[in-house]
Amino acid sequence: MYLNEELKKILGEKIVFSNQMDRSVYRTDIGHLVEGMPEVVVVPRTTEDVRKVVIFANEKGTPVTIRGGGTTWNGESVSNGGILMDMKGMNKVIEYNVKEKWVTAEAGMTWIKLYQYLKEHDLSFRSAPDNLVSTVGGSISTCGYGFHCTKYGSLADHVLGLEVVLPDGKVLQRGPKEIGMRMYGADPLPLFLSGYGTFGIITKATFRCYSYDERSPSHLVGLLYNKFEIEDAVEDMLLMSKNCNPDILYFGSTTPEFQMMYKDMLIEEAHKLGCTYKRKIPLMVQLYSAYLRKFGKKTPSRFNFVFAGYDGMDNKKKLRCVKSASRGNALYEFSVDDEYLVRGRALWRIFTQKGAIPCFSDCVVPASCAGEMIRFGITELEKNGFNQIALYGLLTQNKSAIGIGFYTGLPLDRVSEYEGVRKKIAEKVVKFGGVIYKYGGIRKNTAKESIGEGYNLMHLLKNKLDPNDILNRGVLF
């Protein structure tokens, strides 16, 4: 326990923990595929705390594992010995500007807490993950996508500046706050936007915000594909993108059983937030209720849908374009007030009910291969008895690729079995020229195949920046 004693001398006793009960909290991550126990846990409160830990780790040759919300699936935030740094102790908003629309927050702040804070100041964000218990720093480190990515791009596209502790303990502050003033070319900022903390530890982030106005929600069309396959919905989505250029565009496919559970949980979460009238009832609740009214209780094996729409209310002409480009049955819907909170809470509940483990398989593939990739994934999962699969897909901002997620919740004894199917999906993705990702970041076991020769270059850069291999050892390189 020499690490514990030495770190307490450097940092004080309040943020250093070494007893077994404290350390066991970090035994695994959300995936439950990898287990490990750190020798000591540090919960830094300041950038200076992080810097001191990194300098100490370099002196001792001790690995440091960085952990945010613990929502990794392959043990990336699990430490087997060494120091585990829990960033959730750094969870404050540092500064915000309503006029210029930006916010600076510490890396350990969760998205749900940040959403609630920004709403109080008439601000909001775009492209954050649905899993709102993940942290700002963790999501930025994986370059995540969200449901607004068709118009607004990835989470990384919103980052204006970062404060990063480098592997040698130096502090890098990069990027002005002013919108549109990010530098490119020699700008090191992109290095930390999908590096899983291997090149540096993000301690603060500044990113774009948007005005929050509950009186002017986005206006969307919910498109029901009861007589068509999910491939048809994907084809229509690409056509809508080309001809109508919507701000919001995504598709999904679930079983009726899954959708009923999701519907009930959405209603419960909406009511908890006081969302009682139609405009504030979540989109999926309205869509499924309309489905039952239109087609009765006789439902197909899968419930396929597309959501397409525009920011603001005065978009009827544009919505007619979307409607004409679709083979689905169209129903007008309004976006929900607090949609991020409602959807995020409901999804988390449904994938973790009765002690289930959330099991996700995410990828990005060329748009031309998306239909075939979806069919392959659904077939493989159902063939192995994983029937309650929820599928969601997002068209990326450049319109050339589609992000696909296969989601379910399973008992612990079936998680390793699911991992076997996920590996088959990963192999297919790589063959299509796509990447396996977590909110946009690349998984280690397919990184080399996905990046190609670029992987070797990044590995060389890692060795140069972190010669002692201190930060997140073995996570990506």
Reading the block at residue 146, the tokens are: 């969200």
> What is the distance between the alpha carbons of residues 109 and 134, in angstroms, rounded to a whole number?
8
**Architecture in CATH for domain 2-89:** 2-Layer Sandwich (3.30)
State residue 84's pLDDT score.
96
Name the pTM for this structure.
0.88
Q: How much is the pLDDT for 39?
A: 95
Spatial separation of the C-alpha atoms in residues 181 and 270, rounded to whole Å: 38
Q: Who's near 336: CB < 8 A, 6+ residues apart?
A: 217, 270, 275, 279, 280, 281, 282, 283, 342
Neighbours of 112 (CB within 10 A): 18
Looking at residue 90, its pLDDT comes to 97
Write down the pLDDT at residue 465. 92
Residue 146 CA to residue 53 CA, distance in Å, equals 33
Mapped onto helix, strand or coil, the DSSP state of residue 416 is helix
Q: What is the rounded distance in angstroms from the CA atom of residue 130 to the CA atom of residue 115?
A: 12
What is the C-alpha to C-alpha distance for residues 253 and 246, in angstroms, rounded to an integer?
A: 20
**Residue labelled with tokens 């007008």:** 332
Question: What would the two tokens of residue 233 be?
Answer: 């919905």
Give residues with Cβ within 8 angstroms of 369, minimum separation 6: 432, 433, 434
Quick one: angle between helices 316-324 and 230-244, nearest 10?
140
Question: CATH 3.30.43.10 spans which residues of the chain?
Answer: 2-89
d(CA 307, CA 250) in angstroms, rounded, equals 6
Tokens of 258: 């899954």
Q: Which two tokens stand for residue 210?
A: 């948007």
Alpha-carbon torsion (223, 229, 234, 238), positive or negative: negative
Which residue in 54, 83, 86 sits closest to 67, CA to CA? 86
Spatial CA neighbour of 438 closest among 117, 62, 29: 29
- What is the distance between the alpha carbons of residues 250 and 396, in angstroms, rounded to a whole number? 10
Residue 178's CB is within 10 A of a number of other CB atoms, namely 12
Q: Is 453 left (phi over 0), alpha (psi -120 to 50) or beta?
A: alpha
* Max Cα–Cα distance, the chain, nearest Å: 69
**What SS3 class is residue 358?**
strand
Q: How long a stretch of residues is the chain?
A: 477
Retrieve residue 290's tokens.
């309309």
> Phi/psi of residue 3, each to 5°?
-60, -45
Residue with tokens 């008895």: 385
Which residues in the chain are classed under CATH 3.40.462.10?
219-441
Q: What is the CATH number of domain 219-441?
A: 3.40.462.10
pLDDT score of 284: 56
Query: Along the 477 residues of the chain, how does pLDDT read in single tens digits?
Result: 678 899 999 999 999 999 999 999 999 988 888 899 999 999 999 999 999 999 999 999 999 999 998 888 778 889 999 999 999 999 999 999 999 999 999 999 998 899 889 988 988 887 777 677 789 998 888 877 777 788 888 888 888 889 999 999 999 987 654 444 445 455 677 788 878 889 999 999 998 988 876 545 567 777 877 666 788 888 888 888 888 888 888 888 888 777 777 777 877 777 776 654 344 445 555 655 666 666 555 666 777 888 888 876 667 778 788 888 888 776 656 555 566 667 777 777 888 887 888 888 888 899 999 989 999 998 999 899 887 778 888 888 878 888 898 888 889 889 888 888 988 998 899 899 888 765 444 566 677 777 777 788 888 989 999 999 999 998 887
In the DSSP assignment, the letter for residue 47 is: H
93-211, what's its fold? 3.30.465
Query: Is residue 45 packed enough to be buried (19+ CB in 10 Å), middle (13-18) or exposed (0-12)?
Result: middle
Beta bridge partners of 249: 308
Domain boundaries for CATH 3.30.465.10 within the chain: 93-211
Helix/strand/coil for 143: coil
107: left (phi over 0), alpha (psi -120 to 50) or beta: alpha
Question: Under DSSP, is residue 123 helix (H, G, I), strand (E, B) or coil?
Answer: strand
The residues facing 211 across adjacent strands are: 123
Side chain identity, residue 238: L
With 0-12 / 13-18 / 19 or more C-beta atoms within 10 angstroms meaning exposed / middle / buried, residue 206 is buried
**In one letter, which amino acid is 358?**
P
User: How would DSSP label each residue in 292-348?
Assistant: HHHHTT---SSEEEEEEEESSS--HHHHHHHHHT-SSEEEEEEPPTTHHHHHHHHHH
